[in-house]
Amino acid sequence: MKGRRSAPLLAYCLRRLAQAIPLVLTVFVINFLLIHAAPGDPVDLLLGGLDSDPAFQEQVRRDLGLDQPMSRQLWSYLANAARLDLGYSFRFREDVGTLIASRLPASLLLMGASFLLSVCAGIGFGVVAAYRAGGAGERALTVLTLSGYSMPVFWLGQLMLLVFAVGLGWFPIQGMVSLRAPSAGLDRVLDISHHLVLPALTYSVYQLTLIYRLTRVKMRETLALDFVKAARARGIPELVVAFRHALPNAMLSVVTIMGLHVGHMLAGSVLTETVFSWPGMGRLMYEAINARDMPLLLGLFTCIAVTVIVVNVVTDVIYAVLDPRVVYS
Amino acid sequence: MSRALEVNKATYPRRSALVLLVIVAFAFTGRLLSPFDAERVGTGPALAAPDRVHLMGTDELGRDLFNRVLSGTQVSLFVGVAAAFAAAVAGVLVGAFAGFTGGWTDDALMRITEVFQVMPRFFLAMMLVAFFGPSLVNVVSAIALLSWPQLARVVRAEFLSLRSRDYVEAARAAGARDLDLMFMKILPNALGPAMASGTLLVAQAILIEAGLSYLGLGDPSRVSLGVMLHQAQPIMRSAWWATAFPGLAIFATVISVNLVGEGLSERWQPQTR
């Protein structure tokens, strides 16, 4: 049984990956068009208005091949991208790839923590709401979640700061570690966790909202199906029916739709990191915008766009693995 | 479903449409309550708390926050409506042609739509504005350029299901031309769902504009709620009002637009609930 399924599954994965290639190419073409269609000289743009002598500008122009014909430039741009060379930031005097890599751990920590939080809370609330349809609790949750996605995430972060950092003084205002009392070992872990609470809460609200809404709707649909009734009739405890029988079925579509929202989630992380001065990729993007550091901005955009494309492929594959009914076509 | 829910469905959209109308009216007439110039520095003491003169207090330059919030809300509403309208026109055209003609035109248009849909919207808008300059026109165009695919898909789906209905066949048999069929016969019946998702686009556009201007990509010649929130952050310790009110304006606008949109989509797509 398993062997019969895995061969078409592998083919499906490969085909899905192949479909993603033109999308990734599109990202690089967009970057290229941005550099060349934007008003102004590409060299000025890439140097970010740094005052530099004409000789240096000429050298940059030659080094980057900007004096060559367009088709040639596009080709060498794509070739660089294929070597994972994201370019050079003249502002930071550093390789764009290195810069991004140095900020990646902080971002992953923030995203991981809030994803965990929103998955647990979103699914939990969703299941409860599916059982208590029409109750006051459900209505309150619905209003809360609607607020959750009508609110600019950075304002939510600022409100958190106002109340919990400025007002009550429970949490630090910004950053990831306290600079006044550098710590090591377990103290450092506690210090980072202390800084992590507010950004992680802020960032998880949108995802939590999304997961909650989807889980509630899908759970309610699933609970009305025959196999759930059959499970209950066999005398299986309701908790087991909910979490072992109904929930996995409801989660199928939740996974797919979550995959479609990954771009939005990454946007949320940029804004959250900016509010809390969290030293991750999002904060780097904010710095790049305000320094007019175009090579860095392009590199970050490339990473984000490729991540979104890859996540889309991965969610499709997960869906195919989870749902035996999927026809691989 | 229970009766309580039916009541909600009927009254929520209407009530929220009313709230939205009040917000719009207030954004344009609120000046009468407190006629300070939104741009002028030193209309009062710096960092003054809200009182009867400065209804929402002042910022660190003594600018009147009440009037700044009103102007910012006007800009937000303009960006939201203009971007959604432009996206709607493009989306309806693409969706109508794809759904009506079918075949390879449909395939080609839908492939392009998919490419646009996969690209992360907020970031692409950010890149366009960063490279082409943060004027209001560029912000609106960038958002519109990235928002039409959603609508195109909705309209296409409607056209696909409507194009072979009997009344369309009858009109065709009576000699109606394709363009007549598309825009006079089918489109009016597809407008409901299109309006519903167009309304949700307004809310998304307002949020995108706020995010962009918070990050430093707002039109510097306009008062923008996102920029105000950005400027409020360093003075957060001494002036909570500079953070509270601009954000509240965005939130109130977006949530009422969203509620109207949800009401419309429940009305036009009963199968989704």
pLDDT more than 70, % of chain B: 93
Q: Which helix (H) or strand (E) holds A89?
A: strand A88-89
- Enter the tokens of residue B81: 């409506």
CB contact under 8 Å between B214 and A152, yes or no, is yes
Q: Return the exposure string of B31-43: e unless at least 16 CB atoms fall within 10 Å of the residue's CB, then b.
A: beebebebeeeeb
pLDDT for B38-85, tens place per residue?
Answer: 777 777 777 777 887 777 877 777 788 888 888 899 999 999 999 999
Average pLDDT over residues A29-34: 86
Q: What is the pLDDT of residue B75?
A: 92
DSSP class per residue in A232-298 = HHTT--HHHIIIIIIHHHHHHHHHHHHHHTHHHHHHHHHHHHHHHT--SHHHHHHHHHHTT-HHHHH
Length of chain B, please? 273
CB of B263 closer than 8 Å to CB of B16? yes
Average pLDDT over residues A89-115: 87
Average pLDDT over residues B89-97: 91
> How many Å lie between the alpha carbon of A147 and the closest alpha carbon of chain B?
7
- A33 to chain B, any CB pair closer than 8 A? The answer is no
B193-to-A12, A45, A133, B88, B265 alpha-carbon distances in Å: 34, 43, 27, 12, 6
- Residue B146 belongs to some domain of the structure: yes
Distance CA A164, CA A272 (A): 16
Name beta bridge partners: B64: B58
> How many Å lie between the alpha carbon of B30 and the closest alpha carbon of chain A?
23
pLDDT category at B2 given cuts 50, 70, 90 is very low
**A and B: number of Cβ contacts within 8 A:** 131
Q: What is the pLDDT of residue B212?
A: 93
> How many Å lie between the alpha carbon of A286 and the closest alpha carbon of chain B?
6
Number of domains forming the structure of chain B: 1
Has residue B166 got a pLDDT over 80? yes
DSSP category for residue A88: E
Has residue B3 got a pLDDT over 80? no
Average pLDDT over residues A114-140: 83
- Enter the tokens of residue A32: 């290229």
- A266 to chain B, any CB pair closer than 8 A? The answer is yes
- Residue B11 belongs to some domain of the structure: no
Of B131, B210, B244, the CB nearest to A38: B131
Average pLDDT over residues B194-223: 90
> How many Å lie between the alpha carbon of B56 and the closest alpha carbon of chain A?
16
- Residue B15 belongs to some domain of the structure: no
Of A37, A152, A264, the CB nearest to B210: A152
Distance CA A33, CA A44 (A): 16
pLDDT for A34-58, tens place per residue?
Answer: 888 887 777 777 776 666 677 777 7
Q: What's the whole-number average pLDDT of chain A?
A: 82
- Residue B82 belongs to some domain of the structure: yes
DSSP β-ladder status, A94-95 and A88-89: antiparallel
A236 φ, ψ to 5°?
-75, 135
- A86 to chain B, any CB pair closer than 8 A? The answer is no
Contacts of B255 in chain A (CB under 8 A): 146-147, 150-151
Q: Comparing C-alpha atoms, which of B75, B74, B33 is closest to residue B50?
A: B33
Distance CA B122, CA B120 (A): 6
* Lowest-pLDDT range of A43-52, A293-302, B120-129, B206-215: A43-52
Q: What is the pLDDT of residue A1?
A: 42
Contacts of B240 in chain A (CB under 8 A): 162, 166
Has residue B251 got a pLDDT over 90? yes
Q: What is the pLDDT of residue B87?
A: 93
Domains and CATH numbers, chain A: 99-328 (1.10.3720.10)
- Residue B3 belongs to some domain of the structure: no
pLDDT for A187-234, tens place per residue?
Answer: 778 888 888 889 999 999 888 888 888 888 888 888 888 888 888 888
CB contact under 8 Å between B122 and A267, yes or no, is yes
Q: Enter the ipTM.
A: 0.86
Say how many CA atoms lie within 13 Å of A97 toward its Cβ.
7
pLDDT for A15-26, tens place per residue?
Answer: 888 888 888 888
Has residue B250 got a pLDDT over 90? yes
Of B126, B229, B254, the CB nearest to A154: B229
| Full residue range of the structural domain in which residue B114 is found | 39-44+54-272
Residue ranges of chain B whose CB lies within 8 Å of a chain A CB: 2, 4-5, 115, 118-124, 126-128, 130-133, 203, 207, 210-211, 214-217, 226, 229, 232-233, 236-237, 240, 243-244, 246-247, 250-251, 254-255, 258-259, 262
Q: What is the pLDDT of residue A206?
A: 85
pTM here?
0.87
pLDDT category at A273 given cuts 50, 70, 90 is very high
pLDDT category at B11 given cuts 50, 70, 90 is low
- Residue B151 belongs to some domain of the structure: yes
- Enter the tokens of residue B43: 């209309």
CB of A316 closer than 8 Å to CB of A259? yes
- Enter the tokens of residue A31: 């970057």
- Residue B16 belongs to some domain of the structure: no
Q: What is the pLDDT of residue A31?
A: 87
CATH number, domain containing residue B102: 1.10.3720.10
- A27 to chain B, any CB pair closer than 8 A? The answer is yes
Distance CA B127, CA A295 (A): 11
DSSP category for residue B49: P
CB of A299 closer than 8 Å to CB of A2? no
Q: Comparing C-alpha atoms, which of B192, B207, B251, B114 is closest to residue A271?
A: B207
Has residue B206 got a pLDDT over 90? yes
* Lowest-pLDDT range of A52-56, B108-112, B141-145, B198-202: A52-56
A275-to-B70, B72, B123 alpha-carbon distances in Å: 24, 20, 17
CB contact under 8 Å between A147 and B217, yes or no, is no
Q: What is the pLDDT of residue A175?
A: 77
Q: Which residues contact A150 (CB under 8 A, 6 or more apart)?
A: B203, B251, B254, B255, B258
CB contact under 8 Å between B127 and A147, yes or no, is no
Say which residue, B257 or A171, is predicted with more confidence. B257
Has residue A100 got a pLDDT over 80? yes
Contacts of B73 in chain A (CB under 8 A): none
Alpha carbon of residue B158 to chain centroid: 22
Of B118, B133, B217, the CB nearest to A312: B118
CB of B193 closer than 8 Å to CB of B154? yes
DSSP category for residue B235: G
Say which residue, A289 or B4, is predicted with more confidence. A289
Distance CA B198, CA B147 (A): 9
- Residue B27 belongs to some domain of the structure: no
CB contact under 8 Å between A152 and B229, yes or no, is yes
